[in-house]
Homo-oligomer: A and B are copies of this chain.
Amino acid sequence: MTHLESTSLDLLKLHGLRKTPCRLAVLELFFRERAALSHQNIEQQTQNSNFDRVTIYRTLTTFEEKGILHRVPDLEGQAKYALCSEKCSEHAHHDAHVHFKCQTCEKVLCMEDIPLPETAAPKGYQVKTASFLLEGLCAECNG
């Protein structure tokens, strides 16, 4: 059993989810890629396993509910997901970091180290969550 396999298995157990081929494959993919992935990305990169489209949709939804994945802001295109930090749980997501989308390779990355800037909303408004998406060229594509 590889390292990723055991990490993935632990994560499922931790959240009371059953170990299934689709869930393991999706988790391992996220660990390997270290970038935000869309349903389509996942379907393509797990083609040989032939998981049903619906199963992948449900896997993503379940993982988001349990605090394993968070939705990543992306103006165009489909919903994208990325691995949560350990702080996330069934009860709340703590994904208050900046996200970066490369306009060349289209990868979307979590910049866990860059916290969201503080912003004052006008009076009367109550801010509960915020998302900040930068777009440009990533280190590789900029080189």
Contact = CB atoms under 8 A, between A and B. Distances in A.
A117 B117 contact: yes
Contact of A136 (B100, B125, B135): B125
Interface stretch (A5-13, A22-30, A35-43, A126-134): A126-134
Quickly give the copy total for this chain.
2
A118 B131 CA distance: 14
A139 interface: yes
Nearest to A131: B133
5 contacts: A114-B122, A117-B117, A119-B132, A127-B135, A132-B132
A121 to B, nearest CB: 6
A130 B135 contact: yes
A120 B137 CA distance: 14
